[in-house]
Structure 1
Amino acid sequence: MKFIAVLALCSLVSTAPVGASIPFFSDKDETPTLAPMLEEVTPAVVNISVKGKREVRQRVPDMFRYFFGQNGPREQVQERPFQGLGSGVIIDADNGYVVTNNHVIDDATEIVVTLKDGRQFDAKVLGTDDRSDIALLKIENGSNLTEIEIGSSDALRVGDFVVAIGNPFGLGQTVTSGIVSALDRSGLGIEEVENFIQTDAAINSGNSGGALVTLKGELIGINTAILGPTGGNIGIGFAIPSDMMKALVQQLVEFGEVRRGVLGVRGNDLTHEIAQALDLDVNQGAFIAEVIPEGAAAEAGLKSGDVIIAVDGRPIRTFADLGARVGSIGAGKEIELTVLRDGKERDFEVTLSEMETAVTAEELHPALSGATLAVDEGGGVVIAELEENSIAARYGLRQEDVILAVNRQPVNNLTELRQALDNAGNVIALNIRRGNSSLYLVLRGN
């Protein structure tokens, strides 16, 4: 069985450009070497150690539940201390900004950043985005820091040489090399928003949040995960592209959170069969099956049957690629979509709308009390969190259930769910997607 292990990796930045002027040969005998480039960029890669407490849920055996009566708790929640190690990259020396993975610092109450020269600083979290696994830290009272130059991941090609820098297994700063094995990897189930660079540079546990750099020392990825049957490196590692990271970090700096833009379409990959049916000369793109009424795409004039082949001039290969590109752009931003319609290319200016944030379901209907709702990217409204023994739980709802319709009225977002519940009578039939199954749950109205 394939096993995806999320790792701690490290990323770099440089105060001065480290481009073509960096020699790739030894001064003594002209032996090929990456040492000059690494001497410039490795001071920008840091080790991150964290401490904190996490909730651990344990099932209560039935024999012990009798002490609490028939309605006794099914789970016992305890807080347990944890420690962790990861990597990070200094992207702004003046402000002490460090980029890492969200999973490296999640739930941490203490964060210590260790530089290559051994200096240690406390750090605080400025903002996180768990959907893309990005976190922005600020080094407190830091001085004489080195930042890395951020390159463009869009310029990468399969076969380009890359170097990974991080803190594998807590050994200390470690450098490995390889090539770009693939681009635009998605559908792996590692994160909600995926558009990974794949590399065979060795990445292991502890490398998460570290740097993937070019031979010029430019940061082009944040190492995040590996694919391996035992959690060890087998030459398949994944990094968040620098262009995506940069767009997300800009929002974290400005707002303290990511305010995602929403296009308002549903669809799938442009397959060979769809291309033949539409008489198209391309076989890659995002096929629009449905345009959400009053959404950004509808306002711009997009229609079902259109095929999006580029965003701001950058090619789109899959629907997931489109979702990752749009998902890293902030709400209110204007983008240009290149679309195939009736076999001809057309450009559309689209102003992205804002994604609705999670709400407490009790605000929408008393029968949903105890659930926290959010928009599901695959369509519908997802139960993001669910309190144990809550009213919603007693009705049979489960965490990660997706509400698709209310009394057969489809719901695509929180606004539509609110309207459908307002129009519902005493009996509310929720059409639920649970995993690969579909079912109905009946709730009582007010």
Structure 2
Amino acid sequence: MLKDDLSMIKARLALLGMIPFILLGLACQTDYIEKLEQQLAEVSAKVGPSVVAIRAVDPITGERRLGGGVVISPNVILTTEALVGDASRLTVMFQNGEKIETSQIEEVCSDYETNICFIKLKKSDLQPVTCVKGEISPGTIGIVVGNSPYSEGLDISYGTIAKSSLDSDDPYDHPLLTLRAQGESSGGTPVFSHKGELIGIAEGRLENEQKVTFLLPAITCQEVMQAMTRQKGKIKRGWIGVYVGRPCPSGTVGEGVERDKIAPNMIAQLAEGSYAKEAGLKPGDIIIACHGKEIKNARDLRQVISMIAPGSKVEIMFLREGKQMVKTVDVGEAPLHQSLRRCASRSI
């Protein structure tokens, strides 16, 4: 009996000895939550005046699309092309209740390929955010700040950032980021660092990954904006009309090309209206250099051709039946490949 009593006393003493550690743990957890709430509140207060909700009305169907955006210069709002599209009416809503209607918008500049859109206003007294500089490290905390037209105050959530494997051959397009977080982020909703710097804007979600949102990185948005400024509101990419390294989207290849023997830098097919065809290039030709740069695959070629101004000419060096040849090709403006955003199968 005495032995049992001693065991019970020891157990109670051990439990009492653990109480300070339990209380310390609870205190630390409470302190962590308080610091997190304070951080979210600070970021919200800093960027809140720059976060907007956007309503776009389709001119044909009358469909209303709702999304977000963020001020990146005193008179420019950044959002996605998919949200704005060719909307006939736009309404931009600020957190303070102010609304900007279509008549107060000077210009809408969209780039389908990168899915980026800039809404330029007639007024120029907005408060812009700053963008992060340098690479985003995996595991970085992303703070989502949305201005929903259905809520009082900002919608705030957070999650972890990672790099995705999704990008395109486009020279302006950097690999998308991913955000793993609870809650839904509509297109154009901005995501910030703990310092309140813009990491990117939400583009969309994977169909079967409800907690993963793709982000257009801030660096892509900045480069597209600079290019649009140089090119007066529209990025004009060069195009010569070739399908390289793979069949065209319809699955066809040119005469003399074997589908299972297409080299990464081989012309598999020529597009309708091809400038390359007019210059004398043929399916089966293997492009080895363009504009003085070595070409190993379709990505290399698109990176070069896209940056050449339409109306220019470009020298292309290629192999035909083992013989090295050079042709000068006119460069036109790349057509809009509707529904083929970031698709490697589109023509170059």
TM-score by length of 2: 0.59
The 5 Å alignment of 1:256-271 reads 256-260=233-237, 266=244
Q: 1:99 to 1:301 in 2, by over 3 A?
A: closer
Call closer, same or farther: CA 1:103–1:299 in 2, change over 3 Å: closer
Unaligned runs of 5+ in 2: 1-32, 247-262, 268-275, 282-286, 310-329
- Aligned equivalents of 2:151 and 2:207: distance in 1? 20
Equivalent position amino acid for 2:129 in 1: I
Task: Please say if residues 111 and 124 of structure 1, whose CA atoms lie closer than 8 Å, have aligned partners that are also in contact.
Answer: no
Which residue, 118, 121, 124 being the options, matches 1:136?
Answer: 118
Give the C-alpha shift of residue 356 in structure 1.
2.8
Equivalent-residue separation in structure 2 for 1:180 and 1:223 (angstroms): 12
Give the Cα separation in 2 of the matches to 1:182 and 1:36: 26
Question: How far did residue 298 of structure 1 move?
Answer: 2.5
**1:10-30: CA deviation from partner (whole Å, max 9, x where unpaired):** xxxxxxxxxxxxxxxxxxx97
Unaligned runs of 5+ in 1: 1-28, 55-79, 269-287, 306-318, 333-352, 360-371, 382-412, 414-446
Aligned to 1:299: 291
Contact 2:174–2:217 under 8 Å retained in 1 = no
Q: Aligned residue for 2:333?
A: 356
Aligned to 2:35: 31
- Whether 2:90 is the aligned partner of 1:90: answer no
- The answer for the alignment partner of 1:440 in structure 2 is none
| Higher Rg of the two aligned structures | 2
- The RMSD of aligned alpha carbons is 4.1
SS in 2 for 1:84: strand
Q: Give the distance between the partners of 1:169 and 1:210, measured in 2 at CA.
A: 13
Q: 2:49 is matched with which residue?
A: 43
Cα pair 1:265 1:290 within 8 Å, conserved: no
Conservation of the 8 A alpha-carbon contact between 1:164 and 1:223? no
- For the pair 1:217 / 2:208, whether they are aligned, the reply is no
2-structure distance, mates of 1:106, 1:98: 15
- Counterpart position of 2:139: 159
Distance (Å, rounded) in 2 between the aligned partners of 1:290 and 1:329: 16
Q: Write the deviation string for residues 68-115 of structure 1: whole angstroms up to 9, x where unpaired.
A: xxxxxxxxxxxx32222111111101xx10111112111211212111
Question: Which residue of 2 is the match for residue 290 of structure 1?
Answer: 265
Counterparts of 1:267-346 in structure 2, within 5 Å, are 289-290=264-265, 297-304=289-296, 326=303, 330-331=307-308
Q: Does residue 227 in structure 1 map to residue 206 in structure 2?
A: yes
Contact kept in structure 2, 1:213 and 1:219, CA below 8 Å: yes
Contact 1:52 1:82 in 2 (8 A): yes
Distance 2:245 2:138 in 1: 27
Q: Note the C-alpha offset of 1:228.
A: 3.6
Q: Distance in 2 between matches of 1:201 and 1:193?
A: 24
In structure 2, C-alpha distance between the alignment counterparts of 1:30 and 1:225, rounded to whole Å: 31
One-letter amino acid matched to 2:200: G
More strand by share: 1
Q: 1:328 to 1:210 in 2, by over 3 A?
A: farther
Q: 1:238: Cα distance to partner?
A: 0.3
Q: Which amino acid aligns with 1:242?
A: A
What do residues 29-59 of structure 1 show as CA deviations (whole Å, max 9, x unaligned)? 97342122221112111111222422xxxxx
Deviation for aligned residue 1:142:
5.1
* Equivalent of residue 121 in structure 1, options 75, 79, 100: 100
Shift, 1:304, TM fit: 3.6
- Judge conservation of contact 1:102–1:133 (CA < 8 Å) in 2: yes
Secondary structure, in 3 states, of the residue corresponding to 2:181? Answer: coil
The Cα offsets for residues 217-247 of structure 1, whole Å up to 9 and x where unpaired, read as: 1112111101244xxx721100111111111
How many pairs does the alignment contain?
A: 250
Aligned to 1:434: none
